[in-house]
Amino acid sequence: MINPASFYIHYLCQLKKLLLKIKSMDRLDVMNERLIHNMFDLKQQARTAIGFTLRSCCPIAGRDIVNFGDDECSINSLLDEISKTIDYLAEIPAEEFSFSEETTIETAAGFADLEFTPMEYFLSYSFPNFMFHYCIVYAIARKSGLEIGKADFDGYHKYPLGFDFTDSN
107: domain CATH number is 1.20.120.450
CA distance linking residue 73 with residue 116, whole number of Å: 31
Residue 49 and residue 130 in contact, taking contact as beta carbons nearer than 8 Å: yes
Q: What is the pLDDT of residues 47-104, one digit of tens each?
A: 999 999 999 999 999 999 999 998 888 999 999 999 999 999 999 999 999 999 999 9
User: What is the span of the domain harbouring residue 85?
Assistant: 4-154
How much is the pTM? 0.92
Domain contains 147: yes
Q: What is the pLDDT of residues 103-162, one digit of tens each?
A: 999 999 999 999 999 999 999 999 999 999 999 999 999 999 998 888 889 988 988 877
Domain contains 61: yes
CA distance linking residue 145 with residue 157, whole number of Å: 20
pLDDT at position 147:
87
Quote the number of domains for the chain: 1
Q: Which amino acid makes up residue 125? A: Y
Domain contains 78: yes
Domain contains 160: no
Where does the pLDDT of residue 168 fall: very low under 50, low under 70, confident under 90, or very high at 90 and above? low
CA distance linking residue 3 with residue 57, whole number of Å: 9
CA distance linking residue 111 with residue 95, whole number of Å: 33
Helix residue spans in the chain (DSSP H): 4-24, 42-60, 75-91, 118-120, 127-143, 150-154
Domain contains 30: yes
Domain contains 79: yes
Residue 51: what are its φ and ψ, rounded to 5°?
A: -60, -35
Domain contains 163: no
Domain contains 169: no
pLDDT at position 169:
55
